[in-house]
Chains A and B, each alone.
Chain A
Amino acid sequence: MKQDKSFGNSLANFIIYSFLILFGISILFPFYNMVLLSFASFEDSMRQGLYLWPHSFTFDNYRRVFMDAQVMSSIRVATLNVLFGTSLAMVLTIFASYVLSRKNLPGRRGMFYFIIFTMYFSAGLIPWFMVLRALGFVDSFWVMTVPNAMSVFNMILMRNYFLSLPDSLEESARLDGAGEFVIMWRIIVPLSAPIMATVALFYAVGFWNQWWNAMLFIQDVNLIPLALLLRRLVIDNSIQFGDAMGVAQLAQEGIRVHSRALELATVTVATIPILCVYPFLQKYFTKGIMLGAIKA
């Protein structure tokens, strides 16, 4: 392809790239500053400024965070949420998507619209709360995963992906004597790695960041997930680092930590796991979204 090297084109490139770079910085800088301040000393934390370069570097804030029993408990709850919730959600989504992608299923369209209906209309918060309460979800670990176990949006993505697979694959398997479950598990799912990775990432992020259900239903401090703990730490100020042992131990060592730095260290701790997972799934992520959308 011939490249346009005119002045107008160069100027356009300059403006576009400048804009994109500035846009990128505006997104990255707050995160960068958060990480920087999470490693800052007590004195730097107190100044509450925006830093381009680290003025000090210490692991004390992170030591303090990881000494806190509540933080560790919340990380454990969030991790279990992700593991259990994502597993359950994937199983349900795969089954639902597969069934609704079968062209010979009687009433398929009706079932699909019925499920779609729930995406747009709900009975509202209060009936939902009352139903879950009646089902015994108050102060239950499962309230953070089971009620949100399947996302209709993700199901549609996956169903569309399944629909995009050639029918001949299924016909061949059927000729070899495969039943529906074998076809799904041995043929369709292995061929759907991109959409599996994409949807799994959606679910994992969602369950990691789960706080709404926990806020409504959880009173037991041992069941507070990390996202809710962060909310209370940063927005609500209703929770403070409660482990006096950690403070005493650091104080004995002559170490002072600032509450703002502790908040930012906790936020960083909460963000890093998902950031670490994302690069490994990114290639599937983009591809999966596109493929899921084509048939829609």
Chain B
Amino acid sequence: MKTKRFALLAILVLALIFIAACRQNETSTPEEAPTPTAAPEDTQTPEDNQDEEIEEQQPEDREIITVSVMNWGVANSFSDDGEICELYQYVIDHFGIMFEPIDVGWDNHVELAHLWAAANTLPDIIGAADFVATPTLSSWAEAGIIRPLPDNMERFPYLYHMVRQPSVTAFDIDGQTFFIPRGNDPYPEYTAMARGIINRRDWRESLGIPIPQTPEDFMDMWRAFMENDMMGDGSIVFGVLPDSTGILNDQAFATFGDTRHAWVQMPNGDMVIPGFERSALPLMSFWRDAFQEGLVDPDFITNPSGVSQELFALGRAGTLIRQIAPLHLRLVYDRFVELTDIDFFEAVEILMPPTVPGITPQFLRGTGFWSETYFSSRLDDYTMDRVMEYFNWAASPTGIATLQFGFEGRDWQWSAEGMIEQLTDINPDTNMPFRANAMYTFAAGGMGNLVMWGGAIEYVDPSIDPRLINMAREFLDNLLENYEFTPVDNRLRAINLDEVNEMPLRVSEEFVAFMTNSTATSHEELWEQFHSRWVANGLQRAYDAMTAEVAARGY
């Protein structure tokens, strides 16, 4: 009987732990949604540059150099049997460079890069995501692990244009730039953080609901979607499906002003993160109300990356909140074509964020990049110049188009309107012309996006239905005309402080914790509880440190 008592006691303890873990309280940390392998929101319209041509190099008299390249999926750009595709041969012939691929994954590239750096075996070219937001950039630069870009970058005009953007120069160390930004967009009119609200217009209209104008209108519409068996088979339909936890506060639902996880300087000089400020409470309350009423698909918190468009196409929710740049819209469109018989353009609309009297919606505007390319200090100036020649071509409109669509004149051509016209056969799987990655191995893997992401030309990309491009363009034009843009001080991103790095808080996670809190505690009281915890976890310490640092720098 003694054993049984012990077993019962153990079960009791486990049960208490289980109940405590299940109980929603403000100290619980929500499960982090998978990091989206996000394509950049930034876009590029290369019309202005299309007349510029890169002066072709004549490297016949130069020896061919080989450099190692670390990037996601870069091994897929090279044939296993060593066969060289026509595009790779073109690069070898014109730039005299061969590449040795060092393949890494999205989730382990940081770990591997640090290990290789410590073991002095870092590849020559290193693709990495957001090292600038960590102490890695400065520590690598100080330790001489990476080298700065060459002097006189004006020799490489497309790269020079990119690295002179304020969002890049903010990270200069001693006047030197240590990376090439990827996804950097020199055309800020289309960089309004293209995130927004994709809605089932056919559902809304079938219910006779006018275009929602206020947050309450949105709630009513979502409620109506849930109550009216929109799928006609009794299946559960939610009002709204956020693509990820990060989308909740990051300007997709920009009704309540700036709620980002970013540093902002207040008029009195204090530095704050808007998402942790009381000004974010209305948006947090909005999401909490919607979630507690069951209007939000709760699975969004743990959905794998990229599944939201599929679920939306299948009628899981009436509204999808996610990026809406053309490439992203195409992802949604493709799922409709693949999985349903619904005419996407008849069924779907992009809605502008609702308005609240006294609060001006704010969108982030400014050039940006989502990852960087670094260069090992083992590269001497001569080799670096050779690499820069290739990079400059790859960043040019012609280079980008070549890596995306193939050879100009044979696989594609510029139209009189500045659009790319593909000349290749139709791919029966996609019903669109074949792209370069289907024809040339070199363009298929990590080499295709080593310098510039395909999103850089998404507004002239012929593989995207023009109607999708127009949807995105109209939305962004509307923003430009009618909404305010959040001021961005790129210098603040570059400040690296221990007090900030050690603060274990993310606005997106706190939003989820807040919205999923099912206690009877009022929004106001709950926010106070959250705020106390944030302060206890170093928020105020980070604020104070940042404020002092910014003051010391005289910003």
Interface residues of A (CB under 8 A from B): 4, 9, 12-13, 15-16, 19, 46-48, 125-126, 129-130, 133, 215-216, 219, 221-222, 231-232, 235-238, 242, 251, 260
Contact = CB atoms under 8 A, between A and B. Distances in A.
A15 B15 CA distance: 11
Nearest to A218: B103
A238 B102 CA distance: 14
Interface string B326-347: 0000000000000100000000
A48 B119 contact: no
30 contacts: A9-B1, A9-B4, A12-B5, A12-B7, A12-B8, A13-B4, A15-B8, A15-B11, A16-B8, A16-B11, A19-B14, A48-B311, A126-B118, A129-B115, A130-B119, A215-B105, A219-B75, A219-B102, A221-B80, A221-B103, A222-B80, A236-B106, A237-B37, A237-B106, A237-B306, A238-B73, A238-B105, A238-B107, A242-B76, A251-B429
> Main SS of the interface on chain B?
mixed
A129 B119 contact: yes
B310 interface: yes
A126 B105 CA distance: 20
Given A15-B8, A16-B4, A232 B105 contact: yes
Interface in B105-152: 105-108, 112, 115, 118-119, 121
Chain B interface size range: 35 or more
B4 A48 contact: no
Given A9-B1, A16-B7, A237-B305, A126 B106 contact: no
Nearest to A19: B11
B307 interface: yes
A19 B119 CA distance: 50
Contact of A46 (B4, B75, B108, B314): B314
B390 interface: no
A221 B75 CA distance: 8
A4 B3 CA distance: 13
> Main SS of the interface on chain A?
helix
B72 interface: yes
A219 B103 contact: yes
Interface string B186-219: 0000000000000000000000000000000000
A126 B72 contact: no
Contacts of A221: 75, 80, 103
Given A9-B1, A219-B75, A238 B106 contact: yes
B101 interface: yes
Interface string B15-47: 000000000000000000000010000000000
B211 to A, nearest CB: 30
B4 A126 contact: no
Interface centre among B72, B119, B429 (most CB of A within 10 A): B119
A261 to B, nearest CB: 13
A1 B339 CA distance: 65
Nearest to A248: B429
Interface of B: 1, 4-5, 7-8, 11, 14, 37, 72-73, 75-76, 80, 101-108, 112, 115, 118-119, 121, 304-307, 310-311, 314, 339, 429
Contacts, number: 64
Given A15-B11, A129-B115, A4 B1 contact: yes
A4 B310 CA distance: 58
Contacts of B5: 12
A134 B348 CA distance: 58
B68 to A, nearest CB: 10
A216 B75 CA distance: 15
Contacts of B4: 9, 12-13, 16
Contact of B108 (A16, A47, A215): A215
Given A12-B4, A219-B75, A236-B106, A126 B115 contact: yes
Nearest to B120: A130
Nearest to A42: B339
Nearest 6 interchain pairs by C-beta: A236-B105, A238-B105, A126-B118, A12-B4, A236-B107, A19-B11
Contacts of B118: 126
A255 B515 CA distance: 41
A272 B368 CA distance: 47
Contact of A238 (B72, B80, B310): B72
A231 B306 CA distance: 17
Given A216-B112, A219-B103, A236-B108, A46 B310 contact: yes
A12 to B, nearest CB: 5
Contacts of A231: 105
A140 B307 CA distance: 37
A269 to B, nearest CB: 20
Contacts of A15: 8, 11
B534 to A, nearest CB: 30
A125 B115 contact: yes
A41 to B, nearest CB: 13
A125 B119 CA distance: 10
B38 to A, nearest CB: 12
A133 B105 contact: no
Contacts of A48: 307, 311
A129 B310 CA distance: 42
A141 B379 CA distance: 30
Contacts of B7: 12, 16
Contacts of A222: 80
A290 to B, nearest CB: 18
B112 A235 contact: no
Contacts of B339: 46
Nearest to B339: A46
